[in-house]
Amino acid sequence: MSNAQIEIQLIASLVAIACAIPGTFLVLRKMAMISDAISHSILPGIVVGFFITQDLNSPLLILLAALTGVITVVLVEYIQKTGLVKEDTAIGLVFPVLFSIGVLMIAKKANDVHLDIDAVLVGELALAPFDRLIISGVDVGPKSLWIIGGILLVTIGLLIAFFKELKLSTFDKGLAASLGFSPAIIHYGLMSVSSVTTVGAFDAVGAILVVALMIAPAATAYLLTTDLKKMLLLSIVFGVFSAISGYWFAHWLDASIAGSITTMLGVLFLMVYLFAPSKGIIAVMYREKQQRTEVSLLTFLLHLKNHDEEAERHVNHLNEHINWQKVRSKTVLDLALKNNMIVINNAIVSLTSKGNEFTTQAIDYIITNEDAQIEDMKDDFFLFRG
């Protein structure tokens, strides 16, 4: 690995961490789309800052752009407050307008300077190591490494200092307000941090892909845990993993590093989305299928309890009268047999004493409107689940 390669991976990892921290809170506060809005609408701030400073890495530019981000949030909230349109429409109206202004400003004025919309949107991480920060003649490393490192340090400092407040206001705004923490200050603080991070990261990974680094690791982590600290940690791990693996993938494919980091994030999310132990799509579908069978089983047992006549209790009757398909009635019968709920004599089904007890209790719960208790009861009675 050459020096430049190590530096690129270091920058990408720092960006990933710096994005993952505010991203976690954005996802939890249902404000993920705000990060998308900010990432677009900082464009005019960047352009104006660039006209003034002529330097994409100047702190003034970062401040100006971050200010535009906060203005976006304020504008969105103002439009929401008028009640003329719904919340999401307000977001969708504000950022394209600001973005358009930015694009037109670039087209009108910056044609001959080095500021290109593609670069703002997509960034070019591969070029980051060539822009060195030189302090009194000594080369101390790439500029963007220092910028994102500084932002990350401030973010971590704020996170540690205000962790309790952030946690409380994220999960219980009312309680936070009544305990005297101003939700507004925390809200705008978080927005400011997100804006600054977005600006600091845009020249490494591009404004739009910052959104991926903010939302995707947090969303992936959210599928795996419900503990805030674990979620923060997991999203950082996911971010850094995608940053480094994405770099090598881009290296192999000879394509955009930012795009490839996002693709890795996507693959990671897809994997977790499919295979997460309790919230993954496969687990959810399996559970739904299990519940469907168990509900059928309960219906079937109730039917048996209600009918003494043999005609109603005949195995074939399941298909004819209850209108189930063959496969389904077979699954239900098997499950009932396995759990010792029924016995079958000469194709006539009858409840065992255990089945009878289960059904009686279930009826009690249904009559008293305590359906939820049936779930617990299943644990007591079932040897095998559906």
Residues that bind another protein (CB under 8 A): 27, 30-33, 35-36, 40, 79, 82, 84-86, 88-89, 91-93, 96-97, 99-101, 103-104, 107-108, 111, 117-118, 121-122, 206, 208-209, 211-212, 214-216, 218-219, 222-223, 250, 253-256, 258-263, 265-266, 269, 273, 279, 281, 284-285
State the nearest-atom distance from the C-beta of 383 to another protein, in Å.
29
Please name every residue paired with 349 in a beta bridge, in sequence order, or none if there are none.
344
Task: Give the nearer residue to another protein in terms of CB position, either 82 or 369.
Answer: 82
Count the alpha carbons within 13 Å of 287 in the hemisphere toward its beta carbon. Answer: 10
State the nearest-atom distance from the C-beta of 280 to another protein, in Å.
8
State the nearest-atom distance from the C-beta of 104 to another protein, in Å.
5
Task: Give the nearer residue to another protein in terms of CB position, either 236 or 264.
Answer: 264
Task: Give the nearer residue to another protein in terms of CB position, either 145 or 276.
Answer: 276
Q: Which two tokens stand for residue 315?
A: 């195995």
Task: Give the nearer residue to another protein in terms of CB position, either 1 or 108.
Answer: 108
CB contact at 8 A, 142 and 133: yes
Task: Give the nearer residue to another protein in terms of CB position, either 236 or 297.
Answer: 236
Q: Where are the beta strands (DSSP E) in the chain?
A: 132-135, 138-142, 342-345, 348-351
Task: Give the nearer residue to another protein in terms of CB position, either 35 or 155.
Answer: 35
Q: What is the residue-wise DSSP string for 244-308?
A: HHHHHHHHHHTS-HHHHHHHHHHHHHHHHHHH-TTTSHHHHHHHHHHHHHHHHHHHHHHHHHH--
State the nearest-atom distance from the C-beta of 250 to another protein, in Å.
8
State the nearest-atom distance from the C-beta of 287 to another protein, in Å.
11
Separation CA 179–CA 190 (nearest Å): 19
Q: Identify residue 226 by its one-letter amino acid code.
A: T
State the nearest-atom distance from the C-beta of 299 to another protein, in Å.
23
Residue 152 burial (CB count, 10 A) = 21
Q: How far apart are the first and last CA of the chain?
A: 53
Count the alpha carbons within 13 Å of 159 in the hemisphere toward its beta carbon. Answer: 21
